[in-house]
C-alpha cells in the first residue's frame, strides 16, 4: 500500500475517513454485548499502529473480535496472519521455514510467504506461551518491525499486531514482551448480568456464520487507517504538537496519573511507553472527536496495568484521579 501521501492531498479526505472508521467500529460493536470499548481500542491501536493485547477467560470473544475486525478492514488472505502459540511453537511456524535449496548454497533464507513477515495485520493467540526462541524472534518483529534473512535485517509489512491471552504471567523473562503492549484490555464474561442479550446476539452471530453473512465486512479499510495515521504523523512532527493538542491542564493530569500508578500500583512506565501512550491519546482524541486531547481521553490510561492483579486497581485509581463515577 502507498504510504507517501502528501499533507495537502490528505486534508480534504480526513473527515470522510474519520466518519467511515467511526461508523465501522459502531457497526461491529453492535453484534456483541458490551464490547464497544474493546472495539474502540482496536480502532485506536490500528490508527496508532501500536500492539494491543486482549486479556480474558476462554469464551469471551477475544479471537472472534479480532477476526471480525480484520473482516471489517476487508483484508485479503495474504494480508492477514494468525497463529496460536504454544511452548512447542518453533520460529519457522511464524516467520517461515528455512529454504533447503538456498541452504545448500550456504544461504540462510526463510520462505516467508503466508507467514508473519508478509502480513499487514497479525493476530497471535496465547502469546505468553511462547518459548525463548519465539520470544527473541517476536521482540525483534514487534519493536523493530524486522526479521533476518541470511544475517541481514529485512523489514516486515506488519502494520498492526493483536494478541490475546487468558492471563498475563508475571515471569521476569516476559517483562520485555509485556512492555511491548502499551495497553492491555480485558474481555469480560457478560452471561451473569446480560444473559438474554448474550443469547440473542450469540444466536444471531451463529446464524450469520452458518449462512456466511458478514454485514460488518469492508465497512472501512486498512488504507483508511494508514491515511489517517499519515495525517497524524504530519501533525506530530511539528515541534508544538503537545502544546497545540494537549492543553496544559490535561498534560499535567497525564503526568500525574503516570507518576501515581508507578509509585502506588507497581505499573512500569518506561520512556518508550510514555511516547507510545502520548501517541495513543492523540489517536483516540483525533478519531473519537477530531480535536485536542481532553480529560475523558485520559481514561485510556485505565488499561496500562502490567499484570492481572493490577488491572482493577489501576482502573479504579485512574477513575479516582479523573473523578469519574463508574
Q: Does residue 2 surpass a pLDDT of 60?
A: no
Q: Are 65 and 123 in contact (CB under 8 A)?
A: no
pLDDT tens by residue, 156-171: 999 999 999 999 988 7
Tell me the mean pLDDT in the region 213-219: 95
Judge residue 219's burial from the number of C-beta atoms within 10 Å of its C-beta, 0-12 exposed, 13-18 middle, 19 or more buried. buried
Q: What is the mean pLDDT of the chain?
A: 93
Separation in Å, CA 144 to CA 125, 127, 172: 21, 18, 21
pLDDT of 260 reads: 95
Largest CA distance in the chain: 66
Tell me the mean pLDDT in the region 34-57: 97
pLDDT tens by residue, 184-206: 999 999 999 999 999 999 999 99
Q: Does residue 42 surpass a pLDDT of 70?
A: yes
The region, left, alpha or beta by phi > 0 then psi within -120 to 50, assigned to residue 54 is beta
Q: Are 283 and 183 in contact (CB under 8 A)?
A: no
Q: Does residue 1 surpass a pLDDT of 70?
A: no
Tell me the mean pLDDT in the region 25-47: 97
Q: Does residue 150 surpass a pLDDT of 90?
A: no
Find how far residue 180's CA is from the centre of its chain. Answer: 11
pTM above 0.85, yes or no: yes
pLDDT tens by residue, 286-295: 999 999 999 9
pLDDT of 39 reads: 98
CA dist 203 and 201 (Å) reads 5
Tell me the mean pLDDT in the region 151-157: 91
Among residues 2, 22, 8, 10, which one has the least CA distance to residue 286? 22
Is the alpha carbon torsion for 217, 218, 223, 227 positive or negative?
negative
pLDDT of 133 reads: 84
CATH superfamily ID and name for 31-210: P-loop containing nucleotide triphosphate hydrolases (3.40.50.300)
Amino acid at each position: 500500500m502507498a504510504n507517501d501521501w502528501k499533507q495537502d492531498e490528505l486534508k480534504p479526505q480526513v473527515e470522510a475517513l474519520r466518519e467511515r472508521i467511526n461508523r465501522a467500529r459502531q457497526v461491529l460493536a453492535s453484534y456483541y454485548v458490551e464490547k464497544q470499548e474493546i472495539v474502540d481500542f482496536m480502532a485506536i491501536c490500528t490508527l496508532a499502529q501500536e500492539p494491543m493485547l486482549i486479556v480474558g477467560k476462554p469464551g469471551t470473544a477475544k479471537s472472534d473480535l479480532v477476526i471480525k475486525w480484520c473482516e471489517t478492514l476487508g483484508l485479503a488472505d495474504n494480508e492477514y496472519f494468525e497463529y496460536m502459540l504454544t511452548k512447542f511453537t518453533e520460529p519457522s511456524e511464524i516467520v517461515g521455514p528455512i529454504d533447503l535449496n538456498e541452504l545448500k548454497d550456504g544461504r540462510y533464507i526463510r520462505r516467508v510467504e503466508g507467514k508473519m513477515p508478509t502480513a499487514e495485520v497479525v493476530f497471535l493467540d496465547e502469546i505468553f506461551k511462547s518459548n525463548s526462541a519465539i520470544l527473541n524472534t517476536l521482540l525483534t518483529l514487534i519493536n523493530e518491525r524486522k526479521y533476518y534473512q541470511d544475517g541481514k535485517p529485512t523489514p516486515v509489512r506488519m502494520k498492526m499486531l493483536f494478541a490475546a491471552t487468558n492471563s498475563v504471567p508475571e515471569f521476569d523473562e516476559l517483562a520485555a514482551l509485556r512492555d511491548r503492549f502499551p495497553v492491555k484490555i480485558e474481555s469480560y464474561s457478560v452471561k451473569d448480568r446480560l444473559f438474554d442479550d448474550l443469547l440473542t446476539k450469540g444466536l444471531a452471530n451463529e446464524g450469520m456464520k452458518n449462512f456466511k453473512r458478514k454485514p460488518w465486512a469492508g465497512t472501512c479499510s486498512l488504507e483508511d487507517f494508514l491515511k489517517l495515521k499519515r495525517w497524524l504523523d504530519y501533525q506530530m512532527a511539528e515541534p508544538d504538537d503537545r502544546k497545540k493538542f494537549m492543553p496544559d491542564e490535561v498534560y499535567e493530569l497525564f503526568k500525574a496519573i503516570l507518576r501515581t500508578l508507578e509509585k502506588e500500583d507497581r505499573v512500569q512506565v518506561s520512556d518508550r511507553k510514555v511516547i507510545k501512550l502520548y501517541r495513543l491519546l492523540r489517536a483516540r482524541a483525533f478519531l473519537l472527536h477530531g480535536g485536542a486531547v481532553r480529560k475523558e481521553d485520559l481514561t485510556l490510561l485505565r488499561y496500562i496495568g502490567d499484570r492481572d492483579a493490577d488491572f482493577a486497581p489501576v482502573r479504579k485509581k485512574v477513575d479516582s484521579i479523573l473523578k469519574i463515577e463508574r
